[in-house]
Amino acid sequence: MTGPGMTGPTLAEICVVACAEAWRGDGAILAGPMGLIPALGARLAQLTFAPDLLVSDGEAGLLAPLLAPSGSGTVTEGWLPYRSVFTMVAAGRRHVMMGASQLDRFGNQNISCIGDWARPKAWLLGVRGAPGNSINHPVSYWLPRHSRRVLVERVDMACGIGYDRAAALGAPGNRFHEVRVVVTNLAVLDFRTPARTMRLRSVHPGVPVGDVLAATGFPLTVPDEVPVTRRPSAGELALIRDQLDPAARRERELR
């Protein structure tokens, strides 16, 4: 699993690989990672099993699927003006990984407020681009704190659109809708059930299934055998540690 002198993967590194796997098989679409661990995951995917994936530098550049010989870790290969991003969004050619203050069993996401929207207990980010993201192209989520306060029976306000709301919208408005996976600090979840409700896909190494169920605010569908989230390979660990994040900022995201 690891090379000579290389220690085993940390939880943060396992989460980076789990996020990377969300883009497997997507082909030449634009990755939209939000947060450090998703960003590392998108870049890792591009450098390994998804070379056609388009990854932005966060401004107006596209990163090449190779590393700079200088050790800076990135090579810019193209220009991506903001107007082009909207063109890709409208055509379903992007897959974002967003965060969520609340997420329910159908994949509805809340980043706006906690409590009654007319008199909320707390204001958060606001709706932002979540409705457009979640109806126009695939969406995944990264939750660094898997808890019953985040994974709730019903979101206080729906910003990102889940499967129940997309079904009610109907065709052709929901033709690009897909909630792919949810990666947390405990597990990976998806919506591959007949009712399109959340399912336990894998648990991270050392995490009991019972801990995931106890930290979720609604019943999860659990398969008869729950696999363990895959660990990074030695090559992936070397990329993460030596090229993509030598300062180990990823570890702070899970503290």
pLDDT tens string 215-251: 999 999 999 999 999 999 999 999 999 999 999 999 9
Interhelix angle 11-21/36-47, nearest 10 degrees: 60
pLDDT at residue number 1: 45
What domains are there in the chain, each with its CATH number? 11-248 (3.40.1080.10)
**Contact indicator for 1, 240 with CB cutoff of 8 Å:** no
**CA 216 to CA 195: how far, in whole Å?**
18
Mean pLDDT across the chain: 92
Sheet holding 76-79: strands in order across?
Answer: 76-79, 61-63, 54-56, 30-33, 94-98, 138-143, 178-184, 187-190, 199-203
- Going through 144-186 in order, the beta strands assigned E by DSSP cover 178-184
Containing 98, the helix (H) or strand (E) segment is strand 94-98
Q: What is the mean pLDDT of residues 54-82?
A: 81
pLDDT band at 150 (very low <50, low <70, confident <90, very high): very high
pLDDT band at 67 (very low <50, low <70, confident <90, very high): confident
Task: Kindly state the tokens that stand for 134.
Answer: 């979640």
pLDDT at residue number 251: 96
CA triple 170-174-175, angle to 5 deg: 115
**Contact indicator for 83, 135 with CB cutoff of 8 Å:** no
pTM of the model: 0.92
Note the pLDDT tens digit of each residue in 177-214. Answer: 999 999 999 999 999 999 999 999 999 999 999 999 99
**CA 204 to CA 230: how far, in whole Å?**
8
**CA 160 to CA 8: how far, in whole Å?**
36
Note the pLDDT tens digit of each residue in 5-47. Answer: 578 999 999 999 999 999 999 999 999 999 999 999 999 999 9
SS3 content of the chain, % helix, strand, coil (to 5): 25, 20, 50
Q: What is the mean pLDDT of residues 138-152?
A: 97
Question: Quick one: CA dihedral 239, 23, 250, 212, positive or negative?
Answer: negative
pLDDT at residue number 11: 98
pLDDT band at 71 (very low <50, low <70, confident <90, very high): low
**Contact indicator for 195, 129 with CB cutoff of 8 Å:** no
**CA 216 to CA 153: how far, in whole Å?**
9
pLDDT band at 81 (very low <50, low <70, confident <90, very high): confident
pLDDT at residue number 72: 63
> Which residue, 100, 84, 85, 43, is CA-closest to 67?
43
**CA 153 to CA 215: how far, in whole Å?**
12
